[in-house]
A and B are shown apart, each in its own frame.
Chain A
Amino acid sequence: MAATDVPDDTLEQPASGSLVGAIKPNALVHVTVNVGDGDTQLVLLPADPNGRRRLIIVDAIRASKLEKLIDDLDQAGVLGVGGPLVEIVVATHPHTDHIRGVPRILTRYASSKPELWEPGYRHATGAYLDILGRVARHDLRRTVVSAGMARFIGQTRVAVLAPSVSLQQRFDSYGIDVNNSSVSLKLAYPATQVVRQATAMGVTHSVVDYDIGQSLILGADAQMLSWSHVLADFPQLGPRSTAVTKALRIAGGTAPLRAAIFKVPHHGSKHGLTLELIEAINPKVSIVSSVRGGGSYSFPHEVAMSQIREAVNPRAGKPAVPHDPDHKLILLYTGSTVTPSGTPAGSVCVICEPNGRREMWRLMDGASADIDLNQARMMK
């Protein structure tokens, strides 16, 4: 299917500096870069007390486009003083449409000593072997990650949902599809449930027993075998009203797969989703990286998109009533164009604030064009 178009009147008009101005220091920013049939994602973590942001790069097929975006954000002052600080580079799995630009990224940001996260699936492609070469040459840390691992960086929790340990053990024995080796992540911001408050009695620290902030699940190219492990490894507990679930909610959450923002796995492949998975995630924003026109594999597949629509806007019981249009369901495709102009809607930028507020922006870039931040348009 072709990516669904975006009506022009659902976007604010561009204004110079408006996107940069919208990124507050305490905001976490996620960009799904429009690179066509591939993946390139950038996460700007909230600024540290010195005003400096750390970056996480999740895959890079088109390194030059990503570098230009980072340079522009740096020049606009979004990254703080001292230049880009890349904390983690995630090579989700060794398919070339995800990692082709990663060797160059590792070279470019070697001075900030990024840690390479990857699933440990050995592949003989030149791009994968070049990644390993860069790790050795620049003395970088390489971490083979698996489900359950979590890294806390400032107020952000970066957790690994997949691959499961048992799948990882199969890489070298019975083998699995490369897509199912994918590193799928869940980012939660803020990472704490503790609030500090100055009162007449002094400073108090309290625990918030409801979900605050927002989470992102970045699905890479994981397919159902991998998601089946995720569903088993991260069970949703309920009902949510009992004393036990309340206690668990404070401890670590009863809905570990719930996430407001869902980077849809595998470019919307029919093999990457089930209704139950999407219902467990319960996304408010779903983002599909896909080329306009379907590309080689006709991504996104209609059957997969229908499941997202049904999960967020149930109609199975009322088949005569159509689903709301994708832009109202906030089901976004990097390959979309704006109607009626036909210009690309392009990359998707989500700005997440710790109070749960978020803004979605379209960066209006074609797949092979650079991003001009001044052309960005906020979604109404």
Chain B
Amino acid sequence: MLTDAVVRTVAPICDDLSPSRGSVLARRAALNEPPKGCGQTSYEPDPSVPRIVPGPRAGQDGGPLVLPDPMFQRLLERARTLGSPLRWVVIDDLYEEICELAISPWPRVTDGMLVFAEEERIDEEEVHMVGAIDQSTLWENARTARRAQYEGVPDAAELIDRPLQVGDTFAAALDYSVIESDAPVGGSRVEVTFRDGMDVTAEARLFTKVQVALANAPPLSREEIDPGDVTGG
């Protein structure tokens, strides 16, 4: 069994150790067994769980990424009400009391890949910003967001209180206050206030894997991999 300390540093590939509101949790609860992941020598897939996991999807009319979660629709509405466009916010670094955030616009989806900065934009590099927030403040924000997401889910307390780690990702409506107007990083270094958000770390990890794979090689068609057996164990 991995210790808590090790679990906190485990990197994205270990899905079964990642926070998720979807199939992993359901499967774990159903099987009433400890999570499988790193360190396991064998892995027997559960035939009841689909083996093709949807990657990033845009809405019906294409364009911005849409997450299949009622929370996401509620967050979109809330962001609209607040007048704060939704952002893709990732913990880039944790250092002493500071949490450095990589802040990007909410992505669009093109050919299965997330696109944050359109290539045609002259100010493309200004799209990605660096923000700073006090770790304890972000921790409270994250817990508030997760509480709304995970209430009633098995293992909710574990998910809500999971310590912050580099790579955690939030869909968030933010306020900025500039703390260094001519800072060389991002044009402006900003202090961030969360107005509303949700933890999308599990989705971000999955989409990152998809993005890496598509950068490595073009996708295959379903027929090419196994025309007769692609959905079950």
Contacts and interface: CB of A to CB of B under 8 A. Distances in A.
Given A126-B103, A295-B183, 20 more contacts: A36-B183, A63-B125, A64-B125, A96-B102, A96-B128, A96-B186, A100-B185, A126-B90, A126-B107, A126-B117, A129-B116, A130-B116, A130-B128, A136-B113, A136-B214, A173-B10, A174-B9, A291-B184, A297-B95, A297-B98
B128 A127 contact: yes
Contacts of B167: 123-124
Contacts of B75: none
Contacts of B230: none
A11 B227 CA distance: 71
A303 interface: no
Interface string A156-182: 000000000000000111111110000
A126 B211 CA distance: 11
B113 A124 contact: no
Given A103-B117, A130-B115, A178-B93, A122 B102 contact: no
B104 A171 contact: no
B172 interface: no
A113 interface: no
Interface string A107-149: 1000000000000001111111110111111000010000000
B38 A174 contact: yes
A62 B184 contact: yes
A217 interface: no
Interface string A31-69: 000011110000000000000000000000111100000
B107 A100 contact: no
Contacts of B183: 36-37, 291, 295
Q: How large is the interface on A (under 10, 10 to 19, 20 to 34, 35 or more residues)?
A: 35 or more
A333 B207 CA distance: 39
Nearest to A107: B119
Contacts, number: 151
B117 A132 contact: no
Contacts of B12: 122, 124, 172
A368 B183 CA distance: 8
Contacts of A35: 184-185
**Closest 6 pairs (CB-CB, A-B):** A36-B184, A126-B104, A126-B116, A175-B9, A124-B204, A132-B215
A135 B216 CA distance: 8
A127 B167 CA distance: 13
A204 interface: no
7 contacts: A124-B167, A124-B208, A127-B128, A129-B211, A136-B214, A367-B184, A368-B182
A61 B207 contact: no
Contacts of B103: 126
B125 A104 contact: yes
A30 to B, nearest CB: 20
Contact of B185 (A97, A171, A175): A97
Given A100-B186, A123-B208, A95 B107 contact: no
A135 B184 CA distance: 26
